[in-house]
Each structure stands twice: as C-alpha cells, then as structure tokens.
Amino acid sequence: MSSLEAKQENEQELNLAAAAEYAIAYAKSQGMDESEVSLHHGTGVSVTARQQELETVEKHNDAQLVVSVYKDHKTGSASSADLSEAGIRSSVDAAISIARFTGADTCLGLADVERMAKDELELNLHYPWQKSVAEMVELAIECERAALQTSELISNSEGASVNSYAGSAVYANSHGFLSDTLGSQHSVSCSVIGEQAGAMQRDYWYDSNRDPVKLQSAESIGRRAAERTVARLGARQIASRQAPVMFEASVAKTLISHLIGAIKGGAIYKKASFMLDKIDSTIFPDFITIAEHPHLPGAASSAWHDGEGVATPSYRPIVEAGVLQSYVLGSYTARKLGLESTANSGGVRNLTVSSTGQDFEQLLSQMGSGLLVTELVGSGINMVTGDYSRGAAGFWVENGEIQHPVEEITIAGNLNELFRHIVAVGTDYDERGNTKCGSIVIENMTIAGS
C-alpha cells in the first residue's frame, strides 16, 4: 500500500492535503520549475417535490484534482477525479506533456512568493445541515404547498427543491503554501405557474446560505414565489419611450457584474473593455462606493487567500465615491499590465454597493413614473463599447405606485452612461450570493415596446 493510500485509509476519507503534497513533490521530481494544485471533495443531497409528491432525490459524492506545471515559462494543466497516487502521477504527466507544446510567456508562473498568505483566518464557512433525506423531502413539499395555497390563480408547479452540500477544498503550490478549507452551501427554491383569462405566467423564489439556520423559511419562499407569479398575470406591452428605470435588487446585481467583467485584467490587457484607461476616473455618481470584503465570517465568497495563495485584504474599495480605484487582477494579468495582483484570482469576494438610504417604496416614489424591472432576458451586452440591450419584464409605475405588469419589452443604453446616471440605490438589499446590493434607479433609458 502506498504512503498516500495508507494516510487516506487511516483517516477513512480522502486526504486532500496529502494528495496535494504528493502532486507537488512528483512535479518537482520531473524537473518542473513550479507547480500548483487545487483539490476538492464534497458530498451533498438534492431533493425535488412536485405536486406534493417526491420527484427526485440525488446524492453527490465528487472529487477533483486540477494541477498546473510551469517549465521555462511554459505551462500545462490537467484534471482528474482519480486521487490515487497513480491517478495523480497521470495528471501531472499529462500537464507536463501539454507544457512541452505550449508557447513561452514570461508572465506565466506562480504568484510571487512574498505575496503568499501567512495568517490563516477562521471564517466560519462550514455549517453541516443535520437533516435526513426524508426531512428534506418534507421541507420541499411544505415549500410547494405554501405556494399552491397562496392563491387560486396558481394553476401548476414546476416544483420545490432543497439542496445541501458540504466539502473540503485544498490549494497548494511549490512555494510551500498549502491551505485546507471546509465549506458548505444550502438552498431552498420554488417555481410555480399562474393562470388568468387563458394567459399564464411563471416566477420563482429561492434562498441560499452556508448556514441553514439563516435560510428563509420554506413556507415564506413558497409564498413569495406564488406572490411574484400572481403579480405578473395580466402583463402587457407598453409603447416605446424614454423613461426612468428601476432595477429590482435581485436584477440590479447584474449591472455590477457587468462592471466587474469590464475591469478584469484579461479584458483590460486585451483592450476589449469599455472600462479601458478608466483608473482614477469618475464612472459613477459620488454617492456610489463598491467594495469587496473577503473576510466576512460565513459569507458566500469569504477567503483568506485567492486562487493562487495571495493574501486577501479585509476590505478593498473597487469604486470609491464614484471613482474607479483599480482593476481586478490575478498574477498573470497583473504582470501583463505591469501592475501588482489585487488578490482576485478566482474573482471578487463579497461585494457591497453603498445605498442612498431609501427603501423600496421610497425608491418607487422618487422615480415617480417609469419602469420597474424584475426580470432580464438575453445577454445583449457589448463589453468593448458598453452598449446594453436586454429583454425585460416587470411593472409600469405611475406617481410612485405600481399600475400593471409589463412584458415583451427591451431596455437599452450604454453602460458608461447608465452608471453615471444612477440616481439612487436602495436599502432593500438582496444579500444572496456574492453581491449585496439594493434596487438601483437610473434616470433615463430607452424602452422598446409596441
């Protein structure tokens, strides 16, 4: 029995740290200048109920290794689900073979050794959900039942789902860095169909959290899904016009995601971004600050290091008082641009968007007359020019009051202009996922309808 296999058998589970160390040592023995490895092993359960009966139960047990090697400024990567010594050697050998045929690039390689995180933080990312499959099924049925009982206009259901997942993640590299992190993620969701006068609408609601105690109740999720569906019944087009547009919090996040995509190092060094050369430029009103908080305990994307082992800061402003502070860089893209990594290999972490202090009703009142967008369709965004055009659905608002649902329209503008013409950001935060943001009101957009 190999030493790795002995360790794994002794612990009665996959020893990811031992597997990572073995991969790094084997790559070094094969003459590689540098190497890094990411491993993950997790287990989970997903259940779905439809029409008050169990529909599916899925159990997950997955493991993966991804290894990258560097030699003479060339790189190769390979992945495998086989974490035995033979499987690891095979993956490293495959990565080495690929590296032989790739072009040299002096920007390739591990992050600088002095940037490696040294102080491991306890970020409380692991909260097992001690529910049996039977209890999860009952929770899904309860969620759907609440939706079906909310209104007689709910005519059908696409089902309710409950998901629970927990796992370990290890990252190691030949600088001698190794981290081993436990994490969990749980969610409840429901989707239903409403019908009125022969016309049907569909909507949904969900919640997700690392800590199951913090999830919205199954009943409230089902009821919210039904209420959103019923509210959409009777939707119609509106005439084309220019008008203010309010993005509901859950879709306002997409505007922020477009910004992040435009300031990623890859888009910048390829000169394929509408945010090119905008550092220290005013791109939002001065009441907008967008920052990441990688060290928030229990948050969706918290981490004490990025995907290359670079130490993350506790707070990093990306936009401060409307001014773009920096790009989003890993080591490779930073070197391409002659800059330093911003510890964003693997993405940004726990973004927050500052608010102007109004709640949802106050935002509607401030907008007066305009379009409230609750759903976006399609992806008509030109990341080079910033031109923006997407299908939308939502509600027409007059004098601060919702009048009727709207569908089959398109909203359009240019993201450079849209960002600058934000007039308010609400306190109705949607805290699900990686971005905490309230509803956003934009002064004026083109609405294409009938």
pLDDT of residue 134: 97
Residue 1: pLDDT band (50, 70, 90) is very low
pLDDT at 12 over 50: no
Q: Please tell me the CATH code under which domain 3-229 is placed.
A: 3.30.2290.10
- The angle at the Cα of 52, spanning 47 to 55, to the nearest 5 degrees, equals 35
Name the nearest CA neighbour of 384 among 253, 257, 275.
Answer: 275
- Per residue in 395-445, pLDDT (tens digit) is 999 999 999 999 999 999 999 999 999 999 999 999 999 999 999 999 999
Distances (CA, A) of 399 to 190, 244, 449: 33, 12, 21
pLDDT at 11 over 50: no
Mean pLDDT of 225-248: 97
For 409-431, the DSSP string reads EEEEEEHHHHHHTEEEE-S--B-
pLDDT of residue 9: 42
Mean pLDDT computed over every residue of the chain: 95
Distances (CA, A) of 378 to 62, 267, 388, 414, 433: 32, 21, 11, 16, 21
Name the nearest CA neighbour of 91 among 149, 23, 15.
Answer: 23
pLDDT of residue 378: 87
Residue 450: pLDDT band (50, 70, 90) is confident
Task: Write out the H or E segment, with its range, that includes residue 147.
Answer: helix 133-148
What are the structure tokens assigned to 91, written together?
């993956």
Residue 13: pLDDT band (50, 70, 90) is very low
Residue 14: pLDDT band (50, 70, 90) is low
Could you say which DSSP state residue 380 is in? E
- For residues 49 and 53, give the distance between their C-alpha atoms in angstroms, rounded to a whole number: 5
- Per residue in 159-191, pLDDT (tens digit) is 999 999 999 999 999 999 999 999 999 999 999
pLDDT of residue 8: 46
pLDDT of residue 3: 47
pLDDT at 379 over 60: yes
- For residues 411 and 431, give the distance between their C-alpha atoms in angstroms, rounded to a whole number: 25
CA 184 to centroid of chain Cα atoms: 15
- For residues 147 and 144, give the distance between their C-alpha atoms in angstroms, rounded to a whole number: 5
- Per residue in 329-352, pLDDT (tens digit) is 999 999 999 999 999 999 999 999
Mean pLDDT of 6-20: 65
* Cβ neighbours of residue 253 closer than 8 Å, sequence gap 6 or more: 430, 433, 435, 437
Q: Quick check: 153 and 196 in contact, CB under 8 A?
A: yes
- Per residue in 306-331, pLDDT (tens digit) is 999 999 999 999 999 999 999 999 99
Helices (H), 174-237: 218-232
Q: What is the pTM of this model?
A: 0.92
- Per residue in 94-117, pLDDT (tens digit) is 999 999 999 999 999 999 999 999
List the chain domain ranges: 3-229, 235-450
Amino acid identity, residue 94? A
